[in-house]
Structure 1
């Protein structure tokens, strides 16, 4: 467990150095230790928000950042493809909506309708592609595209969000 914690700390340090928020999913972490159970590998993947944890003695491919501390080495794939980027933006949308719920004093039992507007097609595609994940995470009965004043910024794009309590 101590070694797993060290690997996580090194991975988090790499994320920080590369300016990659933990909310942004990444494809893979590789490390030079194979002594972990499947359960512990799942914890490492979850803590670092990576899709896969693998093992290697060395990684010499482009798009990888490395960190070494004594006998421990980790490599983090820092390439963010479009699907990973969309997933990260969906998490940012979820965080923003949950913050809005909190500011409105809504409880976990309160169902809502989320309305959004965005002029950027890519951002609209995030709302569409991740509609089920977003609505499930924020307890929304529906997510609707509408015409709102675009006062928020998500991933550098202007958008509008409205959270309305049902009932």
Structure 2
């Protein structure tokens, strides 16, 4: 279907009413398949069904995950360690989860600028952006 690995999906439906009682297993499946919800039942049409409809909220989350991946890649390429506190400059605006992003990548600040000098080009949802990270 052309969905990126980091793109979360809304729902996985499994035709198995017994599986609904296996909470730990369902949590593991949710993490591995990257879905927000799992529905189990005997009346589900196919053995396994994935809902590929991506809401705006899910799209933003997928974009944020792609940005995190790119920031971590740039961090590694520039010789920074995962524990180094960084400052991020980008022309990509994070909507709704800026604090979560900063916590996840150990950033002191995330600055949105229309023009980034000496930044690294990244692609998010098919569009090109620039990201620059510096040690804080």
Equivalenced residue count is 130
Structure 1 partner of 2:106: 139
1:158 deviates by 2.2
Secondary structure, counterpart of 2:95 in structure 1: helix
Partner of residue 112 from structure 1, selected from 49, 70, 86: 86
Partner of residue 44 from structure 2, selected from 53, 58, 62: 58
Partner of residue 89 from structure 1, selected from 63, 66, 79: 63
Mapped to 2, the partners of 1:48 and 1:19 lie a distance apart of 15
TM-score for both structures, normalised by structure 1: 0.72
Secondary structure, counterpart of 2:18 in structure 1: coil
Structure 2 partner of 1:156: 126
Mapped to 1, the partners of 2:32 and 2:97 lie a distance apart of 22
1:155 deviates by 1.2
Moved beyond 2 Å, runs of 4+: 56-59, 149-153
1:86 deviates by 0.7
Q: Note the residue ranges of structure 2 that are not aligned, 5 or more in a row.
A: none
1:82 deviates by 0.7
Q: CA RMSD in A?
A: 1.6
Secondary structure, counterpart of 2:91 in structure 1: strand
1:130 deviates by 1.9
TM-score for both structures, normalised by structure 2: 0.87
Structure 2 partner of 1:20: 3
Secondary structure, counterpart of 2:130 in structure 1: strand
Q: Note the residue ranges of structure 1 that are not aligned, 5 or more in a row.
A: 1-17, 60-65, 67-72, 119-123
1:152 deviates by 2.9
Residues 46-96 of structure 1: CA distance to partner in whole angstroms, max 9, x if unpaired? Answer: 10110000113234xxxxxx5xxxxxx101001001111111010000000
Mapped to 2, the partners of 1:117 and 1:21 lie a distance apart of 22
Q: Which structure's residues are more often helix, by fraction?
A: 1
